[in-house]
Amino acid sequence: MAGDERVRFCSDCNRNVYNFSAMTGREIESLLASREGRVCARLFRRSDGTILTADCPVGVRAVVRRVSRIAGAALTAALSVSFASAQQAPKAAGSSLVQIETQKTASLAIRIKDQTDALVPEARVLLTDEATLLRVAEGQTDKAGELSLTKLAPGSYSIQVEFPGFSMDRQTVILSAGVLSKVDLYGTLHDGAVVGEVVVPPKHPVLSRLKGLAHKVHF
């Protein structure tokens, strides 16, 4: 007979045959009421004389177990796919992270000069976060009197320079994310200070006129 698990058509009697075993008790009652009891049906009768329908507690538990197994298998498959995707992702995710980190940091290029506009090499530079009062970076100017600091968090910083015979007030600089800030810092190089191999003698009567020139000679 052609049809499905609930109803099939019988060509011999020219009627639909309903499978009561695949229907709930309420569905069976509704069907019998609408057909006035004239129904061809197929049913399963237990050995105790009772009839099995779709809402039988034993049958319901079997359906629940079957659905649970299907759902569990689907969940396991989904977790496996997610885990496999997570294992393949780190390379791309790492690249993105590096790019984002670069965009969030700031850089600082410093040049230290004296009162004659001459660059001061080998000067120690200390960078302090003004918000936390913690020293976040330090370095030494090169032979050209320059120093570069990178991977700094955006914010306000104070700069302190230490060099024998050189004095400079603390300077403040504000750094922005993704920006290279360039600053020239000026201080005073006092008499007797050594810059490279040049010595400015303290108030020497003969060399006093050469003091400005001596300040500008660096090695």
CA distance 159 to 117: 19
pLDDT in tens, 58-100: 655 665 677 677 777 776 777 666 666 656 545 544 444 444 4
Angle value at C-alpha 109, between 105 and 135, nearest 5 degrees: 65
User: How confident is the model at residue 203, as a pLDDT?
Assistant: 53
* Residues in contact with 12: Cβ distance below 8 Å, sequence separation at least 6, in sequence order: none
Beta bridge partners of 8: 3, 17
Q: How far is CA 36 from CA 14, 30, 75, 131, 175, in A?
A: 18, 10, 46, 88, 88
Q: Which residue, among 79, 133, 114, 95, has the nearest Cα to 187 in the 3D structure?
A: 114
Q: 106-215 is classed in which CATH architecture?
A: Sandwich (2.60)
Has residue 44 got a pLDDT over 50?
yes
Name the average pLDDT for the chain.
75
Q: How far apart are the first and last CA of the chain?
A: 106
Q: Above 60 in pLDDT, residue 216? A: no
178-203: average pLDDT: 72
Among the ranges 11-20, 98-107, 120-129, 193-202, which has the highest mean pLDDT value?
120-129
Q: Where are the domains of the chain?
A: 2-55, 63-92, 106-215
Does the structure show a pLDDT above 80 at 115? yes
